[in-house]
Amino acid sequence: MTGAAAGGLAFATSPAQAEYQDVTDVPGFSCDQPQFTCGREVRAADGMVSTVDPIASGVAATILREGGNAVDAAIALQYVLTVTQPHGSGIGGGGFMVIYDADSGEVDIVNSRERASRNAEAEQFLDDDGEEVPFAERIQTGEAMGVPGTVRGLEAACERHGSRPRQRLIRPAIELARNGFTVDAFLAEQIAENTEKFNDAALETFSDDGGTLYEEGDTMTNPDLADTLDRIRREGAEAFYEGEVAADLAAEIARNAREPDRVVDEEDLAEYEVTFDEPVREEWYGYEIVSQPPPSSGGAIVYYILKLFELLGGEAHEIRSPEKYHLLAEAQSLAWADRNEYLGDPEFVEVPLAELLSEEYLQSRADLIEIGSTVYDYENDEESQPGDPLAVASSASTTAPATAMQSGSTTHFSVVDQWGNAVSYTSTIEQFMGSGKVVPGRGFMINNELTDFSAEPEGPNRVEPGKRPLSSMSPSMVLEDGVPVLTAGSPGGIRIITATAHAILHSMVYELDPLDAIVEPSIFKSTLPPVHYEEGVPESARETTSEWGLVWGDEEVQGNVQVIRVADDELIGAADPSRDGQATGFDRAAGGGGDRGRGR
Ligand code: GLU
């Protein structure tokens, strides 16, 4: 290894070669150690971690070094993120963990999505006049808080796939919470921007002993969270879902509720169970796209968009050509219409997934799209409409309003180990800093995930007792001959789907290296105009496609993608430069794996 300067080193000007950070908060780990290589994009032989947080990447890499597998590393990593990135995910939230088991060649999914209370009702987001409670208010109510699934999910993953005891995997998070860690720029920003929704416990959690909010570079401790995690370490998930922690969590939810007897209570917590899902698994350009099925729309819609691109022969067009953007914008537009019409929690809703993703149906959707014109009249604000995958007029069709656009909270991370096991895991508390309410004395933030339900009491994504809200999270893998060659995923509300689809497309069809695939500009369009785009989409392409009928909106960052490419003889990890992420590679033989930014 060519050596990393402690404290970080800027080595290039292009976003694809942004600086990397050494990690000083993790005992026994440093990017200087020969087995590890850290950076926005790194290469290694025996293990790879890509996360939004260098500390979490470092912890996960130490688990790989001591012989833990990808699931062990992912569990330790998620517990660390609870401490170091509490604005994005944590034990107060839920997520989807897609696992490739190299021994069996099977894909398993641990679905720890939050659930509504058994007492929830479809009208819970309407006020006394039947009007929707304004979103900014809704996200802070007890009605928005679902039963968190993360702790049970991690326990289930550990039991089914782990090779290390829970106690070992939680320990790094406990130590970081107790001894302190360095607040990064993004956490500091989220603390400063969310104080309005904080309860007293949150203000206390995110302030130092003198009562000043933590800023970038400060050392933050969270002793209450250390104690909560220590209980889980000793007693397992029961320590979270039953007893004192559960009682305090239920009390805080009730305190914020408009109707306290309709929100998550201790019984809901005690009853929570994860599910083990069959992935969306579909053929694409000779590969397979493998991803999260409903109650996430993510996997299905990532595939839908990518498949339309394939059916339209999109690969014939240059990566920044007007044709490529046009096809992707139109594919997205049709995909969202079907998403909103048909997708919801399959425990409650008849989801016509097989029909929706059938080649025949997708071909019929692709046939609507052509270069030179648009399917709908976006200049006059026309909205794209769903098709009919069942090929019969649906007798019970009710249209769900699109989920509100979210700001890009959540976190995605991936791990691949020396045996070829892989994890693609997207995890969330919904908004940045979730509901803004920390459970007093317990140190963790409660999600506001149930605002992912439609506020209107109709459609496949309406609130129902015990139901899981429709998600966009898209933890994905691309398989070749049944074996992962790429993992990808992102935060970003409904932009999760498009950010993930672009990363896969740019990697596999345009054959870009992972970091280039991430930073290659993506676009986003829902059922309505305009098309949002990232910096780098040429003005000439926007002009040409405007003549064809697309309406362009603002330039904005889409998602925060983490990717691992499993190449023939090496693993390449990349972390999106739009936040502080870092990939960390592991090589058993000393000598390191090489960082592209440092001359390999
Ligand atoms: N709650 C969102 C979902 O499950 C993710 C939140 C976000 O990334 O903005 O789709």
Q: Which pLDDT does position 422 carry in this prediction?
A: 98
**590 — pLDDT class (breaks 50, 70, 90):** low
Q: Which pLDDT does position 40 carry in this prediction?
A: 95
Q: Is 474 in the pocket of ligand 1 (CB under 6 A)?
A: no
Q: Which pLDDT does position 27 carry in this prediction?
A: 86
Q: How many CB atoms lie within 10 A of CB 182?
A: 18
Q: Is 149 in the pocket of ligand 1 (CB under 6 A)?
A: no
Tell which one of 496, 498, 560 to mutate to probe ligand 1, the residue whose CB is within 8 A of the most ligand atoms.
496
Residue with the smallest CA separation from ligand 1 atom 1 is 430
> Which ligand 1 atom is nearest residue 113's CA?
4
Q: Is 88 in the pocket of ligand 1 (CB under 6 A)?
A: no
- With residue 517 as reference, give the H or E element that holds it: helix 514-519
Token pair for residue 209?
């002993």
Question: Ligand 1 centroid vs 253 CA: distance in angstroms?
Answer: 20
Q: Is 496 in the pocket of ligand 1 (CB under 6 A)?
A: yes
Is there a contact between 147 and 467 (Cβ–Cβ < 8 Å)?
Answer: no
Residue with the smallest CA separation from ligand 1 atom 3 is 471
Q: Is 410 in the pocket of ligand 1 (CB under 6 A)?
A: yes
Q: Which pLDDT does position 167 carry in this prediction?
A: 97
**Interval 339-352: pLDDT, tens:** 999 999 999 999 99
**408 — pLDDT class (breaks 50, 70, 90):** low
Token pair for residue 182?
């360095």
Cβ neighbours for 235, distance < 8 A, ≥ 6 positions apart = none
Q: Is 471 in the pocket of ligand 1 (CB under 6 A)?
A: yes
Cα–Cα distance measured from residue 455 to residue 123, given in angstroms and rounded to the nearest whole number: 7
Residue 82 has pLDDT above 60, yes or no: yes
Is there a contact between 489 and 52 (Cβ–Cβ < 8 Å)?
Answer: no
Which is nearest to 483 in space by CA: 103, 50, 158? 103
Question: Ligand 1 centroid vs 430 CA: distance in angstroms?
Answer: 5
Q: Name the amino acid, one letter, at 337.
A: A
Question: Ligand 1 centroid vs 334 CA: distance in angstroms?
Answer: 21
Question: Ligand 1 centroid vs 536 CA: distance in angstroms?
Answer: 26
Q: How many CB atoms lie within 10 A of CB 554?
A: 8
Q: What is the mean pLDDT of residues 360-373?
A: 97
Q: Which pLDDT does position 210 carry in this prediction?
A: 95
Q: Which pLDDT does position 580 carry in this prediction?
A: 84
> Which ligand 1 atom is nearest residue 472's CA?
10
Compute, in degrees rounded to 10, the torsion defined by CA atoms 7, 410, 107, 486.
-50
* Interior angle at CA 573, CA 571 and CA 575, nearest 5: 175
Helix or strand or coil: residue 478? strand
Tell which one of 448, 473, 490, 562 to mutate to probe ligand 1, the residue whose CB is within 8 A of the most ligand atoms.
473
Tell me whether strands 552-555 and 531-533 are parallel, antiparallel or unpaired.
parallel
Higher pLDDT, 241 or 592: 241
**547 — pLDDT class (breaks 50, 70, 90):** very high
Residue 498 has pLDDT above 80, yes or no: yes
Q: Which pLDDT does position 23 carry in this prediction?
A: 82
Q: For 444, which DSSP code?
A: -
Residue with the smallest CA separation from ligand 1 atom 7 is 493
Q: What is the mean pLDDT of residues 213-229?
A: 98
Q: Is 410 assigned a catalytic role?
A: yes
Which is nearest to 396 in space by CA: 359, 353, 352? 352
Q: Which among 228, 410, 451, 544 is annotated as catalytic? A: 410
Q: What is the mean pLDDT of residues 296-320?
A: 98
Is there a contact between 464 and 348 (Cβ–Cβ < 8 Å)?
Answer: yes
Q: Which pLDDT does position 19 carry in this prediction?
A: 60
Q: How many CB atoms lie within 10 A of CB 51?
A: 32
Q: Is 340 in the pocket of ligand 1 (CB under 6 A)?
A: no
Q: What percent of the chain has pLDDT over 70?
A: 92
**Interval 431-463: pLDDT, tens:** 999 999 999 999 999 999 999 999 999 999 999
Cα–Cα distance measured from residue 254 to residue 143, given in angstroms and rounded to the nearest whole number: 9
Residue 307 has pLDDT above 80, yes or no: yes
Q: What is the mean pLDDT of residues 553-569?
A: 93
Which is nearest to 324 in space by CA: 532, 522, 536? 522
Q: Name the amino acid, one letter, at 589.
A: A
- Between 166-179 and 54-65, two packed helices, what is the crossing angle to 10 degrees? 140
Q: Is 298 in the pocket of ligand 1 (CB under 6 A)?
A: no
Q: Which pLDDT does position 597 carry in this prediction?
A: 32
Q: Is 430 in the pocket of ligand 1 (CB under 6 A)?
A: yes
Cβ neighbours for 409, distance < 8 A, ≥ 6 positions apart = 87, 88, 428, 429, 430, 431, 432, 433, 434, 491, 493
Tell which one of 89, 145, 409 to mutate to probe ligand 1, the residue whose CB is within 8 A of the most ligand atoms.
409
Q: What is the mean pLDDT of residues 197-211?
A: 97
